[in-house]
A and B are shown apart, each in its own frame.
Chain A
Amino acid sequence: MADRPVRWYILFDNYEQGLALHALLDEHSLPNRISPAPRCLKEAAACGMALLIGADVIESVRACIEQHSGEYRVILPVEGQLLSHRDKYC
């Protein structure tokens, strides 16, 4: 598991929705980064932008979203998605 950490992606209907949630999480000091939606989640994603959330804060993020009725499409985990030495460019 340590070699293949799980990261969570929040997917959106459009980037405006994504930016609103990004602002909400920032406001509550919950770590999140704007990221392209991973290709493996293509079927679930409606827009190219996602929010990347670490496994250590996902429950706090969910709670914040619920409390503030934050809008999103779906939250999904991806295992071992990011590899700095993969050397697959485009």
Chain B
Amino acid sequence: MADYVQMWKDLGMDLESHDVLCSVLPTAVGDVFMTQQNRPKAMDFWDLVISEVHGIRPAELIEEQKKGRKVFGTFCVYVPDEVVIAANGIVTGLCGGSQFWVPGGEAVLPKSTCPLIKASVGARLGRTCPFFRIADMYVGETTCDGKKKAYEILGEDVPMYVMDVPQMKRPEDIIKWKNEIAAFAKKVEEFTGNKLTPEKLNEAIKLVNEKRKALARVYNARKSECLPISGRDALLMMQIAFFDDPARCAQMCNRLADELEQRIKDGVSVVPAGTKRILVTGTPLAVPNWKLHNIIETSGAAVVCEEMCTGTRYFENLVDETKTTLDEQFMALSERYMKTNCACFTPNTGRIDDILRMVKEYKVDGVIDCSLKFCCLYDTEKYSVSRALKEAGVPILSLETDYTDTDAEQLRTRIGAFVEMLDG
């Protein structure tokens, strides 16, 4: 990635440390993706993006900044991209998924913080991720205590705006979130210098809905008994959706979906008939966190669905496009976003309903409920998720992991035994 060195220098990045990260990424990508047989041709787009992950998209963002556009970095699927896009801003996901960044986060956070938060803070403070350098403003949210405190630290280094996510889903909470969206819109207007209009917000709502529909098409193809794409490839597509241009994301996902639908018609599967189908649920898998999927899919099973933020929670449910005033549109946004079933809510029975529905839709043989270490919320929900699945007669394996490689053998043993049990 030598042709981006000047750009990284201009961003104030620590090139020496960044080079260490660059040295491990090609091996992981090679092992996880290039070892697969019969991958869809349309994956070439995501192969290119990941090959130049700190080059192509960051360079695009910088070009847009030169035209006066602002880049907003986000950490959660609750932050409404539509508002930023309507003000001619750009959204880029910032969640850190690499162990490389964790020690940098541990320098300022307790070790008993989840690796996603530690990696995100480490990526910013260590100056080793161009996306964290480029974002003009970070947008946080109150979906967990670890993030709330981390945002205070990040806020000392970069402009930070935090949205207060309700913790329950009563009618008054939907209104509360609508008001939060309205307040965020005001902040975005101030920061970008661009006024929101109902017309612009409607265009943005339609754009993001198109992206959701395209992602859903790919997921719908995964419901087929003839599985046309691996879980690893679908995960890569989903991870990159968080920082790609939304129109191009929709275009590329639709191109991939076209190929997958044709594969289903032609009976082309990436796994032998009878391969056990796994639904993965739990905490998000931020790029480049591919450990769980790689271990599952090299243990004789296939991942067919992710009930997580880097999965169905990102694209299910559309925003109503028929509203004509900003007030009505903020309410429509709130109604859609509040359907996302995050463990920060109490109660959160909707997540269990979703998992049970998806088990049927995706013809799932077994569920793996996996949370990142120190994520108290998802770890606690394992009890009720496990109980509901057992009652429904669905085999379930509950796991906890982090970004290190050290538990890979242990995970292989447990996942291998689970798949063997499904085969039995």
Contacts and interface: CB of A to CB of B under 8 A. Distances in A.
Contacts of A89: 28, 32, 99, 288-291, 294, 403, 405, 408
Given A48-B1, A49-B51, A90-B288, A36 B29 contact: yes
A78 to B, nearest CB: 9
Contacts of A83: 31, 35
A46 interface: yes
Contacts of A19: 48
Contacts of B24: 39, 88, 90
Interface residues of A, number: 31
Given A22-B44, A46-B2, A82-B34, A88 B28 contact: yes
A84 B51 CA distance: 18
A33 B28 contact: no
A81 interface: yes
B3 A86 contact: no
B100 A35 contact: no
A45 B2 CA distance: 8
A81 B33 CA distance: 12
A76 to B, nearest CB: 14
A85 B408 CA distance: 10
A61 interface: no
B324 interface: no
A46 B52 CA distance: 12
Interface of A: 13-15, 19, 22, 26, 33-39, 42, 45-50, 52, 81-90
Given A33-B47, A49-B48, A85-B298, A90 B25 contact: yes
Contacts of A46: 2-3
A32 to B, nearest CB: 9
Contacts of A84: 31-32, 35, 294, 298
Given A33-B34, A34-B48, A89-B289, A47 B21 contact: no
B23 interface: yes
Contacts of A90: 21, 24-25, 27-28, 98-100, 288
Interface residues of B, number: 44
B39 interface: yes
Contacts of B21: 90
B31 A82 contact: yes
Given A90-B98, A90-B288, A48 B52 contact: yes
A36 B291 CA distance: 18
**Most chain A CB within a 10 A radius of its CB, from B48, B55, B100, B291:** B48
B52 A15 contact: yes
B295 interface: yes
B290 to A, nearest CB: 6
Nearest first, the 8 A-B pairs at minimum CB distance are: A87-B408, A36-B26, A48-B1, A34-B47, A84-B35, A90-B24, A36-B51, A49-B51
